[in-house]
């Protein structure tokens, strides 16, 4: 039996705007000049993130956060108290410096106050270094006494320390409607998206997805009602993160480090990177395809309505906040940069890809550290790991440390139009796909909303309910051009078994 080809394959319908921004410039550098000592350097986002980490390590609490100014392509760091020594060091390193009022310790104290006094379902907060404040968001379910409680707490912190805003939607985990990975549980089916292929600490092939997916189901398949191909090894949700490590049952599974960006295009994932506020990021999801936006906050706390206790709350900490849209079925999907940096795993949020909203992601760097996994295939194929933050020039498979891959295998995805519906990590490698006419073409998926409502485990949905589309939720493609809806990604999942 041939080895299974496991790739990060998600919905084939991509947002054209995001694709146009991502694909032509996937390998383009944004560096323009190094700049003289004492002046802000022009940096690409990944280098700005590295510089921010180095300055934070060197200067500690003297800094009060940093962000990436995409219009000037500069890293901006916040300094409290006008310490000239700190300012000189930051400027010599190439950052732009501004003086602010709130220190890191003060902002952290405000977050602790919110945790103790305003932890109600439908709220979230994160530090915004651009405003030097804690931004608190309350969704549409926070009303009456709950709203008064949150508003009073924020007001008590002072207008110079925190702000409160409304979200039109409802904070929830994005679980139903995807076509990437499937599991059958009591009361219905669960669907999530595969995030990034990794190698577990014992050398076995695995992948990362959302923690609430791993908590919801133990075994996962690449097709509706199919035999399991992977088993959850570790899962964290709620608590300090939202991530799962899922090991492939077949130890010979090949798991290339790449993201399917739709339309036959892939992005090689070279390394795990920390997010920077202001950075442009891309999200690929099995329901909504490719979308892009900006990071708006770090170390976010989100209070989801509990999925097991109607009166409870599932609090998750340490997340990335963005304005990238997402919808049900995108949970666990990949958040990445245009130059191949793995940033996050889709957790949850509010809104949709029509009205927008806030979304939250599990940092990949934290998930790798917690699980002991490394990106890619651990050196058995293309893409050995480089040292953290430093992309290695070593050849494929030359593992130099943990965290950042030096490359990724090419040619493991199906050609344009050759995928039979964007399988969950199961694209055929070059030469492995069926000949022309033997597979379903792009756009063969059922329209969004045509799967069973029982696929959703968040928000208290009745798992036995059926969505308005009335379809049983198999997600099977109907044939070339036979798309039953808007092409939102409920396509069939196939793999080269």
Q: Which residues are catalytic?
A: 212, 242, 331
Angle between helices 45-59 and 84-93 (to 10 degrees): 150
* Placement of tokens 């009335």 in the chain: 470
* Placement of tokens 């940069």 in the chain: 337
**Strand-pair category, 162-166 with 133-138:** parallel
Q: Which two tokens stand for residue 164?
A: 């409160």
Residues 302/118, Cβ–Cβ less than 8 Å: no
The strand pairing partners of 137, in sequence order, are 124, 165
Residues 347/362, Cβ–Cβ less than 8 Å: yes
Q: Which two tokens stand for residue 447?
A: 């329209």
End-to-end CA distance of the chain, in Å?
Answer: 7
Residues 335/366, Cβ–Cβ less than 8 Å: no
Long-range pairs for 228-231 at CB < 8 Å and ≥24 separation?
228/183, 229/4, 229/253, 230/181, 230/206
Angle between helices 144-157 and 104-117 (to 10 degrees): 160
Residues 279/45, Cβ–Cβ less than 8 Å: yes
Give CA–CA dist 267/24, Å, rounded: 11
Instruction: Give SS3 for 214.
Output: helix
Indicate if the alpha-carbon torsion angle 424, 426, 430, 435 is positive or negative: negative
Give CA–CA dist 443/481, Å, rounded: 6
Q: Which two tokens stand for residue 229?
A: 């191909």
The strand pairing partners of 172, in sequence order, are 349
Task: Name residues whose C-beta falls within 8 Å of residue 42's C-beta, 6 or more positions apart in sequence.
Answer: 30, 31, 32, 33, 35, 72, 73, 74
């Amino acid at each position: 039996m041939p080895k299974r080809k496991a790739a990060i394959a998600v919905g084939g319908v991509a947002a054209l705007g995001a694709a146009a921004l991502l694909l032509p410039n996937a390998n383009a550098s944004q560096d323009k000049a190094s700049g003289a000592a004492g002046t802000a350097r022009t940096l690409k986002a990944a280098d700005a993130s590295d510089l921010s980490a180095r300055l934070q390590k060197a200067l500690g609490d003297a800094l009060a956060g940093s962000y990436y100014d995409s219009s000037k392509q500069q890293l901006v760091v916040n300094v409290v108290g006008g310490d000239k020594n700190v300012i000189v060091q930051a400027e010599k390193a190439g950052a732009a410096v501004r003086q602010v009022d709130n220190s890191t310790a003060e902002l952290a104290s405000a977050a602790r106050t919110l945790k103790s006094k305003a932890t109600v379902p439908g709220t979230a907060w994160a530090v915004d270094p651009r405003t030097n404040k804690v931004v608190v968001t309350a969704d549409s379910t926070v009303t009456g006494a709950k709203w008064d409680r949150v508003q009073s707490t924020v007001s008590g912190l002072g207008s110079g320390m925190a702000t409160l805003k409304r979200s039109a939607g409802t904070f929830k985990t994005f679980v139903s409607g995807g076509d990437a990975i499937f599991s059958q549980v009591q009361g219905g089916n669960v669907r999530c998206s595969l995030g990034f292929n990794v190698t577990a600490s014992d050398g076995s092939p695995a992948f990362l997805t959302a923690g609430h997916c791993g908590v919801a189901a133990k075994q996962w398949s690449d097709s509706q009602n199919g035999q399991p191909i992977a088993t959850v090894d570790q899962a964290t949700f709620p608590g300090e993160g939202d991530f799962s490590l899922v090991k492939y049952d077949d130890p010979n599974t090949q798991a290339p480090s790449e993201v399917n960006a739709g339309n036959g295009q892939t992005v090689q994932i070279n390394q795990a990177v920390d997010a920077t506020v202001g950075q442009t990021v891309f999200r690929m999801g099995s329901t909504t395809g490719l979308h892009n936006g900006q990071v708006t906050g770090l170390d976010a706390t989100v209070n989801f309505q509990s999925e097991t206790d109607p009166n409870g709350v599932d609090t998750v900490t340490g997340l990335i906040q963005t304005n990238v849209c997402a919808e049900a079925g995108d949970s666990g999907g990949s958040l990445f940069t245009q130059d191949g940096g793995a940033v996050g795993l889709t957790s949850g949020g509010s809104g949709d890809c029509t009205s927008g909203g806030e979304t939250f992601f599990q940092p990949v760097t934290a998930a790798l550290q917690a699980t002991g996994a490394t990106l890619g295939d651990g050196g058995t194929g293309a893409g050995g790991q480089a040292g953290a933050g430093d992309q290695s020039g070593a050849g494929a498979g030359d593992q130099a440390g943990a965290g950042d891959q030096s490359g990724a295998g090419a040619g493991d995805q199906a050609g344009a139009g050759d995928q039979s519906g964007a399988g969950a990590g199961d694209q055929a490698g070059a030469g492995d796909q069926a000949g022309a006419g033997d597979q379903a073409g792009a756009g063969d998926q059922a329209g969004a909303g045509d799967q069973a409502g029982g696929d959703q485990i968040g928000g208290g949905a009745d798992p036995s309910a059926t969505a308005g589309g009335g379809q049983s939720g198999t997600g099977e493609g109907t044939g070339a051009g036979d798309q039953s809806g808007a092409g939102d990604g409920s396509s069939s999942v196939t793999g080269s078994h």
